Amino acid sequence: MSVVERIEELKLEALSALAEAGTTKDLESVRVKYLGRSADLTEIKKSIRDLPQDERKAVGGSSNRATKEIEAALAERLAEVAVAEREEKLRAEAVDVTLPGAPYPKGSLHPSLRVIDEVVDFFVGLGYRVAEGPEVETDYYNFTALNIPPGHPARGMQDTFFLDDGLVLRTHTSPVQVRTMLSQEPPVYIVCPGRTYRRDSDPTHTPMFNQIEGLAVDKGLTLGDLKGTLAAMARHIFGEDVKVRLRPSYFQFVEPGVELDVSCFICGGSDPNCKVCKGAGWIEMLGAGMVDPAVLSEAGYDPEEYTGFAFGMGPDRMAMVRYGIPDLRLFFEGDLRFLQQF
């Protein structure tokens, strides 16, 4: 076989290998094999100068043409394969936007939050404004301004978490009453949901719990207004048929102080074995009273001109009663098996 024939043979081999190669990588292998530094064709080109004069031209021309032809075919195939590869990639990465989305578990509102939302909605409907205050509170707002001076035994009744520098974790939402009165002129109608803290832990007490405070200060407010407002709230939360009653009670910052009971909305007082009211027919719901004139004065309001009522309830306890949950601590353990029931 002459060298020119060998070149022709190599070229045909290369062209058919290029035609068969289906990927950029395969094409690169073909290039190395037929055009690379140690390819047969390259070796032939290197040896041209050793050939007899009369053969050099024919072999040189033929090897150059073969090289060009292979290069042209390679470029063409590279372009074709690139298009095919891109199409394949697009096909593989295609997103079917008509497929249904992956379902994810739906959350639900915490039982306390449901009660809080309902209570707050009710008062907002009456025209009350939602107020907030800090959970880390000064001793002054948590106690002194509420008529509980230093050394007063009433301080001991609320198992307080004391922090440094005269700060406490607020034991109730009542300090928001004072903060609000100090920051605005009467009339005041606020409701204040928030977290509160006490060193307590048993089935009906947790170290962190929620309270909702309410405060109304205006001209001529009476205990009748307090009762009417809270009765309307109880009907809103527990149903149209519930009745309310006030019992005398004592809180340092109200005078008189009362506790509000609602008639048992489960048995209505007819079942001596009722799990919710334990046969009493009444469920204790909140503390309330007429704002003590000393508290109004401390906040800069004239007690001769204004009167007010305040109330503070525990929405966690209300949720406990409503959903029949025996232990309040379950509310705050974050166990999804418990929470997913609501």
Least distance (Å) between residue 289 CB and ligand FA5: 5
- In this chain, which of 211, 229, 263, 307 binds ligand FA5, going by CB under 6 A? 211
CB of 268 to ligand FA5, least distance (A): 22
List the interface residues with ligand FA5, window 12-41 (CB under 6 A).
none
287 binds ligand FA5 (CB under 6 A): yes
Regarding 206 and contact with ligand FA5 (CB under 6 A), the answer is yes
**Residue 312: beta bridge partners?**
213, 287
- Taking alpha carbons only, the member of 132, 293, 292, 151 closest to residue 211 is 132
Contact flag: residue 312 with ligand FA5 (CB under 6 A): yes
Q: Which stretch binds ligand FA5 (CB under 6 A): 123-131, 216-224, 225-233, 281-289?
A: 281-289
Do the strands 254-263 and 167-169 form a parallel or antiparallel pair, or are they unpaired? unpaired
How far is it, in rounded angstroms, from Cα 2 to Cα 9?
10
Least Å distance, CB 109 to ligand FA5, is: 19
**Taking the complex as a whole, how short is the minimal distance between the CB of residue 253 and ligand FA5, in angstroms?**
6
Residue 178 neighbours by CB distance under 10 Å: 21
In this structure, the number of other CB atoms found within 10 A of the CB of residue 90 comes to: 9
CB of 271 to ligand FA5, least distance (A): 23
The residue among 67 and 229 lying less far from ligand FA5, judged by its C-beta, is 229
Q: Is residue 189 near ligand FA5 by the rule CB under 6 A?
A: no
Q: Which is nearer to ligand FA5, 4 or 126 (CB)?
A: 126
310 is an interface residue for ligand FA5 by CB under 6 A:
yes
Residue 100 vs 153, nearer CB to ligand FA5 = 153
- Among 88, 77, 62, 84, smallest CA distance to 31 is for 77
Q: How far is the CB of 90 from ligand FA5 (least distance, A)?
A: 60
Q: Does 200 bind ligand FA5 (CB under 6 A)?
A: yes
Which residue's Cβ has the minimum distance to ligand FA5?
A: 314
Q: Binders of ligand FA5 among 234-263, rule CB under 6 A?
A: 251, 254
Minimal distance in Å, beta carbon 199 to ligand FA5?
Answer: 9
Q: Is 62 in the site for ligand FA5 (CB under 6 A)?
A: no
Q: Does 308 bind ligand FA5 (CB under 6 A)?
A: no
Q: Which is nearer to ligand FA5, 107 or 156 (CB)?
A: 156
Does 320 bind ligand FA5 (CB under 6 A)? Our answer is no
* Residue 172 engages ligand FA5 in binding (rule: CB under 6 A): yes
Count residues near ligand FA5 (CB under 6 A): 23
SS (H, E, C) the chain: CCHHHHHHHHHHHHHHHHHHCCCHHHHHHHHHHHHCCCCHHHHHHHHHHHCCHHHHHHHHHHHHHHHHHHHHHHHHHHHHHHHHHHHHHHHHHCCCCCCCCCCCCCCCCCHHHHHHHHHHHHHHHCCCEECCCCCEEEHHHHCHHHCCCCCCCHHHHCCCCECCCCEEECCCCCHHHHHHHHHCCCCEEEEEEEEEECCCCECCECCEEEEEEEEEEECCCCHHHHHHHHHHHHHHHHCCCCCEEEEEECCCCEEEEEEEEEECCCCCCCCCCCCCCCCCCEEEEEEEEEECHHHHHHCCCCCCCCEEEEEEECHHHHHHHHHCCCCHHHHHCCCHHHHCCC
Q: Shortest gap between Cβ of 317 and ligand FA5 (angstroms)?
A: 4
> Is residue 174 a contact residue for ligand FA5 (CB under 6 A)?
yes
Residues that bind ligand FA5 (CB under 6 A): 172, 174, 198, 200, 205-206, 209, 211, 213, 251, 254, 286-289, 310-314, 316-317, 328
